[in-house]
Amino acid sequence: MRKNAMWLIGCGALATSAMTATLTMSIAAQSITAQPRDTVIPIRPPRVPLPTEAASARETRFSFIAYGDTRGRHDGVEVQAEHQLVMESMVRTIASMSRGPDPVRFVVQSGDAAVNGRDAKQWNVSFTPLINRLTTEAGVPYFLVPGNHDVTSSSDINNAARKEGLGNFLQAVSRLIPPNGSPRRMTDYPTYAFGYGNTFVIGFDSNIAGDSTQLMWVRAQLSKIDRKRFVHVVAFMHHPAFSSGPHGGITLEEQTAAVRANYMPLFRKSGVDLIIAGHEHLFEHWIERYRDASGATRRIDQIVTGGGGAPLYTYQGEPDLKAYLKDNVADSVRVEHLVKPGVDAGENPYHYVVVHVDGARLWVDVIGVDWGRNFQPYRSARAVLSDPPSQK
């Protein structure tokens, strides 16, 4: 079976090359003419901008797309071929859902846009042309937070290489995220929030998850949410709190430890429903259950969706959560690994997820692309993000 899976991967790569060569050359040609190669060209703003929070207040049924880790093997040379497969599927999905009851209103991406975010060519040639299709052809707002490849893995906000990558990142998304001075933007940080309908979304830079200034800003945003309006709260960042790929398992990275220590208690206190993360180039789903201040059992779903085009990863083992559970015993925290990734790369296809919002209900559809079109990580492609009454 593993041989068959890897044969399918090879066939998918050949098919990708044959089907998209002309479009790739066209996109690449138009992407680098506007500015010098050492200057990052901003991604084009969405044809249909996100409405003001007040204007969308009555929206209770819609969807959004989440994915991450789009960096490609030939960044700076050509358009990201695998990311292009994902993007073209997203464009089709957005178009088909526009006629349904819950159209896609925006896209969130959890980071690692390119291999080296300090290289402007990698943004201009390989990444930005694809996102321009989403914002102009599909017409939807696009929200990106930085991964370690975008701004380096340094947790020092004054690190020179980080500053260089961050400058390119902020230039790329300058027409997409709230500007400096907005109440929903942390000045000079890639950290921001927005509300749409009954859902509040906050994105932050998990590369500096130990930064107290950012943590204070995120805490302040979450503390002021109108929970009568915002039934759902979604956080997205690059580093997951729990994972089982090469960045998780027996490995505990500095950023992961900081997310667990600083953000997970805040998310429980603030009633965050859903965390979207990447970093691991695979799909997995975790549930953290806990008791809130009233004694009620609550849950936070964490979906790791890193199948946006970067080289695929595999399952490496379960993380050691003994210390984490001990530190959070006061909240009766329990962690469940609902969906584990496969041990073979052929079991972990390129993919994205569609998050459906319908009043108080949330559910997700996982959409595989290319050789992974029949991906069914839940023994189907759908999961409801709530417990049945017997489990509450």
Kindly state the greatest CA–CA separation across the chain: 60
For every residue of 314-369, which 3-state class applies, written as one string? Answer: CCCCCCCCHHHHHHCHHHCCEEEEEECCCCCHHHCCCEEEEEEEECCEEEEEEEEC
* Average confidence score pLDDT of the chain: 92
The pLDDT of 219-223, averaged and rounded, is 98
Helices H / strands E in the chain, number of each: 10, 13
* Domains located in the chain, CATH noted: 2-391 (3.60.21.10)
**Quick check: helix, strand or coil at residue 201?**
strand
pLDDT value at position 391?
60
Cβ–Cβ under 8 Å, residues 164 and 118: yes
Does this model's pTM top 0.85?
yes
Residue 251 clears pLDDT 70, i.e. is over it: yes
Residues ≥6 apart with Cβ < 8 Å to 111: 68, 69, 144, 145, 146, 147, 148, 149, 150, 206, 237, 238, 278, 279
The pLDDT tens digits for 112-147 are: 999 999 999 999 999 999 999 999 999 999 999 999
The pLDDT of 265-278, averaged and rounded, is 98
Other Cβ atoms less than 10 A from the Cβ of 328: the count is: 20
Beta strands in 39-139 (DSSP E): 61-67, 104-109
pLDDT band at 38 (very low <50, low <70, confident <90, very high): confident
The pLDDT tens digits for 54-92 are: 999 999 999 999 999 999 999 999 999 999 999 999 999
Between the two ends of the chain, the Cα-to-Cα distance in Å is: 39
DSSP 123: I
Residue 30 clears pLDDT 50, i.e. is over it: no
